[in-house]
């Protein structure tokens, strides 16, 4: 993914009211075992998922990212379009 730094910056900007870390993981594998690129977002304070989804709505629409909530308080934004088939 060529634009990952721009997407990461857009995520940080959208969540500027929070103490947040955004990590990028590139796509890997091929065929059935392939994994898409994704961004792991960790917020280091209390947060509401509806508020976060609203804050990230424009970024997710612009870059076609999908939410994937983890059970331990962080979530991924998946770029399902960026995978090795």
Q: Give residue-wise pLDDT tens across range 19-43.
A: 999 999 988 776 665 678 899 999 9
- For the chain, domains (ranges, CATH) are 4-79 (3.30.780)
Distance in angstroms (rounded) separating the CA atoms of residues 52 and 35: 24
Distances, alpha carbon 14 to alpha carbons 9, 20, 36, 48, 55, in Å: 9, 11, 22, 15, 6
pLDDT surpasses 60 at 85: no
Q: How far apart are CA 62 and CA 73, in angstroms?
A: 25
What is the pLDDT at residue 41?
Answer: 95
User: What is the average pLDDT score of the chain?
Assistant: 88
56 confidence band (pLDDT: 50, 70, 90) = very high
Q: What is the pLDDT of residue 70?
A: 77
| Residue 2: both structure tokens together | 């060529």
> pLDDT tens for residues 70-80?
767 789 999 98
């Amino acid at each position: 993914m060529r634009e990952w730094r721009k997407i990461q910056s857009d995520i940080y900007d959208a969540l500027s009211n929070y103490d947040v870390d955004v990590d990028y993981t590139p796509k890997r594998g091929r065929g059935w075992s392939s994994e898409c690129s994704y961004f792991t977002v960790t917020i280091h304070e209390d947060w509401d998922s509806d508020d976060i989804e609203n804050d990230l709505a424009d970024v997710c629409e612009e870059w076609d990212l999908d939410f994937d909530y983890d059970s331990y308080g962080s979530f991924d934004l998946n770029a399902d379009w960026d995978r090795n088939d």
